[in-house]
Amino acid sequence: MSERNRFLKTSSWMLSLLLVLPIIAIFYASFGESEEVFGHLMSTVMGTYTINTALLVVGTVFLSILMGIPSAWLMANYAISGDRWLQWALVLPLAMPSYIVGYIYTDWFDYAGPLQGLLREWMGWTSATQYWFPDLRTLLGACFVLSLVLYPYIYLLARAAFMEQSLTLTQSARLLGCSPLQSFFRISLPLARPAIAIGSSLVAMEAIGDFGIVSYLSVSTLTTAVYDTWLGYSNLNAAAKISAIMLVVIFILISSERYSRRKQKLFSQNSSPDKIAKVHLQGGFKLAAVLWCWVLFILAFLAPLSQLIFYAWTYHSTSSIVDFAQYSFNSLYVSAIAAVVALIIGLTVNLYHRLSVTVWGAVPARVSSLGYAMPGTVLAIGVLIFLTSADHFINDVAEEFGFGRLGLFLSGTMFALLTAFVVRFSAVAIGSIESSLTKVSPSFDMAARTLGCNVRGMILRIQLPLIRRGCLIAMLLVFIESMKELNAAILLRPFNFETLATYVFNYASDEHLEYAASSAILLVMVGLVPLIMINRSLEQSHA
């Protein structure tokens, strides 16, 4: 088996090495000469960038918990008006790009916007000095917008945790005299802590890596510092130093979350098929629950989407159909290639893990998944450093053999963008395929081997047919994530090459989102597909 498995073993280790090279390149470049740019940043603005990033993460996580946990508790335990719609509708804001929501709310909240205009008309005010109105172009505004689109991470995981909890625990608490609120804080919430911690860490990583909304609202964070240092100061080493700091912070964040719950174990889950029906709320509690969930859905998804539809209808005659078609094709083309490559990587490392007889078989899959934790801006730095070094090496070799210099055919082309997508989203494909493979009993493999089937035949006849649905889901998820990716695309796209995400962001940055509303709607619709799939899977697993 080990001899016949040599190809998978070699391929898995080579692919995992290639996928981790951008991370290694960041730390390697961070030790390079930065021409005192980094020292200047450290002595002037780096403190502000770091504090803003920390406040952005804390504020976003706090607001996301405030929005996500009550909604998850209500959907898991209580029957309210429209709960069958709400349980999946509350997930949909995750499909909204943050910079689109930020643009729309800023347009509404600005001095010349409709809300302040109505307020001045009703109250007879003539100047902004006569009243106070919240300013969205602030750090708190960025936290608010990000929490609107990121709270579903906490909502999904917390809802699943609440649904899995044993009913006997809450029933015992009620028999001992606890009110529903007391049983929530003493029983349900502590049991759901691991899920909430994971959701909060996902929100925190997304907040650290966000570029679109902080750039649009002019909030200086470490992500914008990377962008400005690279393009403003033209110093890649200084940008790599900041990127390395961000990677260390993310590593500490993930490690702290796992360490904090290292001794926590959950042995009691609700496995009874006779699940008690949801409680029907009455009176003021029912009204408050209905308002909370529906208002949250409207603010986070329905209102921004309605505004986009209004923009698309009103400005359709001034929108460029040619640009929309070209940039849609660009996104589809790049995303499709990234999905196929990520699928090949996911199959290779997972099949090697499946067939390996040593503990080292799991290492390539884990190493290949590291890129998903990297913010897109940081990943772009790593990919550029790695591919630029490869370009110079290949050019030197070609010149040595008399072929002349070939140019930046890796770092200066679409190949760089594809590399970033594959490095970042291979983890999605690996996870999906791994989940499917774990459901295939090892007895199938043993039976195939007993009947004389070699490794190749066992993979083609047994394993691949049984995991084809997982492979399709893996490709779909990578395709959709690549379609929506902004941070890496805006930094690595070739000249005169736009994706839908960069096209929409450019118009939003220029305060003309209405001219790209159709493209923004397409991005949102594409993002809805995996959310609906995830929610249906959650419903089926707890049916």
Q: What does the pLDDT look like over 415-439, one tens digit per residue? A: 999 999 999 888 888 888 887 888 7
Residue 274 has a pLDDT of: 42
Q: What is the 3-state secondary structure (H, E, C) of 30-96?
A: HCCCCCCHHHHHHHHCHHHHHHHHHHHHHHHHHHHHHHHHHHHHHHHHEECCCHHHHHHHCCHHHHC
**What percent of the chain stands above pLDDT 90?**
17
Instruction: Report whether pLDDT(143) > 90.
Output: yes
Q: What is the pLDDT of residue 265?
A: 56
Rounded mean pLDDT of the chain? 83
pLDDT given for residue 260 in this prediction: 63
Domains of the chain: 1-26+315-543 (1.10.3720.10), 32-268+281-313 (1.10.3720.10)
- Answer whether residue 109 shows pLDDT above 50: yes
Average the pLDDT over 144-153 and give the result. Answer: 93
Between CA 289 and CA 79 the distance in angstroms is: 10
Cβ 162 vs Cβ 188: under 8 Å:
yes
Kindly report which listed range (25-34, 148-157, 318-327) carries the lowest average pLDDT score.
Answer: 318-327
**Which of 39, 38, 72 lies closest to 195 in space, CA to CA?**
72
The mean-pLDDT minimum among 249-258, 359-368, 523-532 falls in: 249-258
- Tell which phi-psi region holds residue 144, choosing left (phi > 0), alpha (psi between -120 and 50) or beta: alpha
Residue 541 has pLDDT above 60, yes or no: no
Instruction: Assess whether pLDDT exceeds 60 at residue 269.
Output: no
d(CA 495, CA 364): 34
Helix axes 414-437, 376-400, angle to 10 degrees: 120
Integer Rg of the chain from CA: 25
pLDDT of residue 534: 66
pLDDT tens digits, one per residue of 322-338? 777 888 888 889 999 99
Q: Report the C-alpha gap between 423 and 25 in whole angstroms.
A: 13
List residues bridging with 269 in a β-sheet.
Answer: 165
- pLDDT given at position 334: 92
Beta partners for 279?
78
3-state secondary structure 157-224: HHHHHHHHECHHHHHHHHHCCCCHHHHHHHHHHHHCHHHHHHHHHHHHHHHHHCCHHHHHCCCCCHHH
pLDDT, position 34: 67
Average confidence (pLDDT) over 41-55: 89
For residue 535, name the pLDDT band (cuts at 50, 70, 90): low
Q: Are 334 and 414 in contact (CB under 8 A)?
A: yes
Annotate 399-431 with b (16+ C-beta within 10 A) or e (fewer). Answer: eeeeeeeeebebbbbebbbbbbbbbbbbbbbbb
Q: What pLDDT is recorded for position 271?
A: 45
DSSP 303: H
Span 186-213, mean pLDDT? 84
Query: In angstroms, how far is CA 295 from the centroid of its own chain?
Result: 24
What is residue 538's predicted lDDT score, i.e. its pLDDT?
A: 58
Six-digit token pair at 539? 């419903």
Reported as half-sphere exposure (CB side, CA atoms, 13 A), residue 25 has a value of: 22
Residue 60's pLDDT band (boundaries 50, 70, 90)? very high
Residue 258's pLDDT band, with cuts at 50, 70 and 90, is: low
Q: What is the mean pLDDT of residues 369-377?
A: 82
- Write b or e for each residue in 336-357: b if 16 or more Cβ atoms lie within 10 A of its Cβ, otherwise e: ebbbebbbebbbbbbbbbbbbe
Can you list the pairs that 37-46 forms with residues at least 24 positions away whose Cβ atoms lie under 8 Å?
37/229, 37/233, 37/235, 37/238, 38/229, 38/235, 38/237, 38/238, 38/241, 38/242, 41/225, 41/229, 41/238, 41/242, 45/220, 45/225, 46/225, 46/242
For the stretch 440-491, pLDDT in tens is 777 777 777 777 777 777 877 878 888 888 888 788 888 888 888 888 888 8
d(CA 299, CA 146): 12
Residue given tokens 């996911």 in the structure block: 346
Is pLDDT at 294 greater than 90 in this prediction? yes
Question: Can you tell me whether residue 145 is helix, strand or coil?
Answer: helix
What is the 8-class DSSP label of residue 269? B
pLDDT of residue 56: 95
pLDDT of residue 478: 87
| Best CA proximity match to 86, nearest among 71, 97, 107, 98 | 71
Choice between 221 and 131, residue whose per-residue pLDDT is larger: 221
Instruction: State the pLDDT at residue 179.
Output: 72
SS3 state of residue 279: strand
Q: What is the pTM of this model?
A: 0.83
pLDDT at 263 (0 to 100): 58
Asked if 420 and 342 count as a contact pair (C-beta separation under 8 A), the reply is no
